[in-house]
Structure 1
């Protein structure tokens, strides 16, 4: 176990969508996240890779999408990440409930779960999103959407939920190999917590005797944990290999470097570095405004752009709207 990095927190969650414009409209206009990068799936550059987060796209605030037009819809089940939770100010859940109802979003009534109050909703593809009332979250979020007041804005990721056939094999990897703390047990499962406090550090594992999930539109593709630097990432990779886990080489994702592996239940995990971040190829004020390609794909820009559907994105913010 690499103690200096294993408990660092969530970096991002990546999911699959069907319609890119519908995806942009929902996450920027309804949930009020900032589109911080418009690029492509580096492994399949005929589709977008869209990143949403806070004002500068800090790790622990990011939800990203591969939107594949015409993609079939998936099915929630074991072996998948089945919920992605965001932190919101405690007093804002009622405001969010009214907003979602007014916008005809598929959402449940808020419920008390353990010591948390949670509002569950589904995006236009059926992806499960939760808003968790969280005390003491110091992240500022993104307040560039006029219809969402700052004291209600989403702050960042809170947790992810993995649904598994069996608890113990996944628990052994999270707690034993990746160094997370085994936290609270409930009737639904167990929580594992990284040491970064309450801001994007929780992984809930829920054992279920249900069918295996089908990964497609409306489901999570993978979840990523934070490594503070490349050296620690490399050490973590070595530890995993020595433990017999199949791990990819370190892959350059332009805005971070990554390694990928699967936990015993089948969920794809990633370890991503905090740096260099999203301003490496685009000024802070212009994040998300232009299609950005990594240097190795730039020679194919004309062909790539021709394969992508047109996309209307929110206008660039004023300088006083960005605190990064």
Structure 2
């Protein structure tokens, strides 16, 4: 039976690739695992950060484009959780953020787990969560050249928080269509897991009335969910199409197959296959170090490079 396996990646907007690259590699200690372009608009960078090989479930990706000012609101993917091993990790990051002048809060509780809110240079809301030495996928690989000590490093993506006007609409989509399990329900907040007991595929939905968020730099474009392979992708595409959701059809993204759809609260979800993966066009040593283009864009390399600002 086809199953959603958890988070695959999350894609956001930045208006400064150089600043973004510095923050996620030098401050957070992630590896830049792909420097490529938006396949629908090759004049903008698409940067990927993650673990040693950019494993599904560890990838944060960013499109660089000039943006209107963000207007925070509802019907949005509002916070991205990142897992750290222990409470000591949160203390380390709190002190590191203070030393580096990174905007952050105090350690508090999210779904009964200790967490630390912070923002990237674009104002993107993120938080670190104490995973309490919990389960993480066996295929996640430590980045060996990070300056962040191994015992406090970021492991991968944790619970993602959505804010929506209609709580039940997104909840029913997750359970009835995608097979998620509702594991907690409180007034105005529900918690769902792709794999019961695993925070690495968790979605927290909070109800919030008011105006819809207007996207800009520092907002999330979409949340991508893991699908095993092409065969299961076809099953999901047919199921979602039959259910009447607006969708893109299956797209070949070279590094994986994708299928985009919007739920009834206009949240954009993507399904993405685990393979072929980010190493299809790169060695481990060179991963993310040079501009890599999918084969169908390679003949336009000179034109594409001429329209991009230098990024080391």
TM norm structure 2: 0.95
Residues of 2 paired with 1:186 and 1:105: CA distance? 32
8 A Cα contact 1:54 1:140, kept in partner: yes
Distance 1:240 1:114, change over 3 A: closer
Structure 1 runs of 4+ off > 3 angstroms? 137-141
Q: Which has more strand, going by share of residues?
A: 2
1:247 is aligned to 247
Q: Provide, for residues 215-261 of structure 1, a one-character-per-residue CA deviation record: whole Å limited to 9, x for no partner.
A: 11110000000000100010000011111122222111111000000
2:216 is aligned to 216
Match of 1:72 among 68, 74, 80: 68
Residues of 2 paired with 1:215 and 1:162: CA distance? 14
2:17 is aligned to 20
8 A Cα contact 1:34 1:52, kept in partner: yes
CA RMSD of aligned residues (A): 1.3
Residues of 1 paired with 2:284 and 2:197: CA distance? 27
Q: Provide, for residues 92-146 of structure 1, a one-character-per-residue CA deviation record: whole Å limited to 9, x for no partner.
A: 1001000011000000011023320010001000001110000224444424222
8 A Cα contact 1:79 1:266, kept in partner: yes
Residues of 2 paired with 1:16 and 1:78: CA distance? 17
| Total equivalences in the alignment | 307
Q: Provide, for residues 259-296 of structure 1, a one-character-per-residue CA deviation record: whole Å limited to 9, x for no partner.
A: 00001101110000000001100001111011011111
Match of 2:34 among 37, 41, 44: 37
SS for the counterpart of 1:274 is strand
Please, which runs of 5 or more residues in structure 1 have no aligned partner?
313-324
SS for the counterpart of 1:108 is strand
Please, which runs of 5 or more residues in structure 2 have no aligned partner?
none
Task: Verify: 1:173 aligned to 2:169, yes or no.
Answer: no
Distance 1:172 1:196, change over 3 A: closer
Residues of 2 paired with 1:141 and 1:172: CA distance? 36
